[in-house]
Amino acid sequence: AKQKKVKIVFVIGGPGSGKGTQCKRIAQQFGYTHLSVGEILRQEISSGSETGSMIQKIMKEGKLVPSDVTVRLLQQAMQGINSDKFLIDGFPRNEENVKAFEDLTKMEPEFVLYLDCPQDEMEKRLLSRNEGREDDNVETIRKRFKVFMESTLPTIEYYESKGKIRKVDAGKSVDEVFESIKVIFSQGKD
């Protein structure tokens, strides 16, 4: 059989910008396999492994898990799924993540969807989410915002310089945001 080229789209945006919400819709409409890196890390916590307890401490502080751990778990998840289109939600978060992913997988994203949302709106969403996430309290949420601004914004600039950023205004309703996203994914089709 002919070897299929795997296509990857990264989805980044601040905490509560709507990554998970929009990725579900994109996956459904455009046939991508949705992988949330936060979910993959939370599964590792649930497994009760030593790595899991290390991850739990870091997440509770709103900090970033070391790249080698994150990328290894992400690559394992990708290898376990027979798909040629992956939507990677919540990754990469810093420049070290980018480098580790490129080094280990030798792959680059087709483009990077950036959900740009005002911070007060993100905070409001997270505080009313009620999914029992250990990092959804005001104190940790503020730390997550800080990490986003200090570490993740520079990676957005990096992809911007490569012409790979597709930015949408994520402060609108779920339907309105998805309308803008649909335009981008329809253009991406070959």
d(CA 119, CA 113): 18
Q: Which residue stretch of 25-33, 43-51, 55-63, 159-167 sits at the interface with ligand UP5 (rule: CB under 6 A)?
A: 55-63
To the nearest whole angstrom, how small is the minimum distance from the Cβ of residue 52 to ligand UP5?
A: 12
Tell me the two tokens of residue 125: 């969403």
- In angstroms, what CA-CA distances link 80 with 23, 75, 123? 20, 9, 34
Q: At its nearest, how many Å lie between Mg ion and the CB of residue 80?
A: 20
For Mg ion, the closer of residues 17 and 94 by Cβ is 17
For ligand UP5, which residue of 10, 44, 70, 73 counts as binding (CB under 6 A)?
70
Contact flag: residue 20 with Mg ion (CB under 5 A): yes
CB-nearer residue toward Mg ion: 20 or 66: 20
**Alpha helix segments (H runs only) across 14-94:** 19-30, 37-46, 50-60, 67-79
Q: Which does 18 bind (CB under 5 to 8 A by kind): ligand UP5, Mg ion, none?
A: ligand UP5
DSSP-assigned beta bridge partners for residue 33: 86
Instruction: Give the DSSP H or E segment for 119.
Output: helix 119-127
Tokens of 97: 């993540």
Looking at the DSSP bridge assignments, the partners of residue 113 are: 11, 166
In the shown chain, the binding pattern of residues 26 to 45 toward ligand UP5, with x for contact by CB under 6 A and - for none, equals: -----------xx--x----
What's the min distance (Å) between Cβ of 190 and Mg ion? 28
- For residues 35 and 92, give the distance between their C-alpha atoms in angstroms, rounded to a whole number: 12
In this structure, the strands spanning 33-36 and 7-13 are unpaired
The only residue of 32, 34, 90, 113 in contact with ligand UP5, by rule CB under 6 A: 90
User: Candidates 17-25, 78-86, 104-112, 155-163 — which segment interacts with ligand UP5 by CB under 6 A?
Assistant: 17-25
**DSSP category for residue 172:** S
* Interface residues toward Mg ion, by CB under 5 A: 19-20
* Interface residues toward ligand UP5, by CB under 6 A: 13, 15-21, 37-38, 41, 58-59, 62-65, 70, 90-91, 93, 97, 125-126, 129, 135, 144, 173-174, 177
